[in-house]
Amino acid sequence: MTVHQPPHADERPVPEPGAAPAPRSVHPLDMANGTRLWLVTGYGPVRQALSDPRFAKDSWEIMRILRERRIQAHQEIFSQALSHHMLNTDPPEHKRLRHMVNKGFTLRRVQRLRPRIEQITDQLLDAVEGQDSVDLIEALAFPLPITVICELLGVPEEDRRTFRSWTNAFVLTVEPEVFQDASVSMNAYIRELVAAKRASPGDDMISALATEDSESALDDEEIAAMAVLLLAAGHETTVNLIGNGALALVTHPEQFAELRADRSLLPGAIEEFLRYESPVNQATMRFTREPVEIGGVLIPADEFVMVNIDSANHDPERFPQPGRLDLKRDARGHVSFGHGIHFCLGAPLARLEAEVVFTRLLDRYKTIELTTPVAQLEWRSSTLMRGLESLPLRMA
């Protein structure tokens, strides 16, 4: 997944989930190299920035701006071939690319995956039965979504853990060499996989895309880029949703007890997990195609814009007492899956996986509690994603 950021973008301040939100405003931030970045915060401005076509996503245009300003972001070495997917394009190209994969993620098709998701979840929990302490991230939150998305795409089981290291490089890494190595390796692998699927198709999404015979069919470069996006986005967000949601429950026992007593709260609880401790801190990079006024501030053309998801989800004007976990809150309208044409295609799948996981945890265990102090938990080092390195639990 290509994540375009100006150099030193990791230096920008990122509001902590649950903390007092920044004012509903637009903040100009000057990076160490003199580059200006505009940070959009607050519910109204964030939704505008996510849906206004003047805030564009075209990766080629982003690289043009960088080159014109003689700025080399480390992502520039990311294979441009892997950049040409729907998250990095604008209409009309975006519509064509999204249409080709949209049918694989309809609500009806996703619901047909429920028995398989339940089976995988049961197998993973069976494997750690009786252990004194279980790292929920390693045991369940990571292997479940990576297994599901790889089965959907047609990635062989023996190759799945390798994708964790590659996507970690794209999302977390600031070292150019690590980023480049992951880009080259993943590009080569996906290209070989596409060729193999075309020669011998299976019942999976890459096979369907590789054998599509229509005017809007994707070429090999586009299939490879789409596979990279789906593999990265298809598990990273869900890993964090499961981990962050579980942490929210074990640190709010009164809310946990209410959920145990009334399972009908679960769908709304998942929305509250997404709002309260969003799996995504920031949306990926945008730029202004023309001068745009937002939040009372005029941003010039060809300026980089980052959209702070967490500030929108914790805006008290939209969500009263935003730092309070409330499983009975109507949290619909959060922007953890985005907003507008780039709304997360895999949102129904992420919600289903979370529903199955929390249902199984409630069914199987009377006690679920942390085995280490909250203050000792480590969060992944990323300006984009919000997720735990590990979550050690006692489940009995």
Q: Is the pLDDT of residue 15 over 60?
A: no
pLDDT of 186 reads: 84
What number is the average pLDDT over the span 74-81?
A: 50
Q: Are 225 and 373 in contact (CB under 8 A)?
A: no
Task: Tell me whether residue 358 is in a domain.
Answer: yes
Task: Report yes or no on 4 lying in a domain.
Answer: no
Contact 25, 297 (CB under 8 A): yes
Answer yes or no: are the C-beta atoms of 196 and 183 closer than 8 Å: no
Domain residues for 17?
A: 9-395
**Of 49, 359, 85, which is closest to residue 223 (Cα–Cα)?**
85
Q: How many domains does the chain have?
A: 1
Interval 245-294: pLDDT, tens? 999 999 999 999 999 999 999 999 999 999 999 999 999 889 999 999 99
Is residue 15 within 8 A of residue 21, CB to CB? The reply is yes
Residue 74 within a domain = yes
Q: Is the pLDDT of residue 173 over 80?
A: no
Is residue 111, in this structure, part of any structural domain at all? yes
In a domain, 1, yes or no: no
Is residue 354 in some structural domain? yes
> What pTM was computed for the model?
0.89
HEC states along 223-280? HHHHHHHHHHHHHHHHHHHHHHHHHHHHCCHHHHHHHHHCHHHHHHHHHHHHHHCCCE
Task: Report yes or no on 134 lying in a domain.
Answer: yes
CATH number at residue 357: 1.10.630.10
Pairing, β 286-288 against β 36-40: unpaired
User: 250 — phi, psi (to 5°)?
Assistant: -70, -20
Structural domain includes residue 2: no
pLDDT band of residue 79 (cuts 50, 70, 90) is low
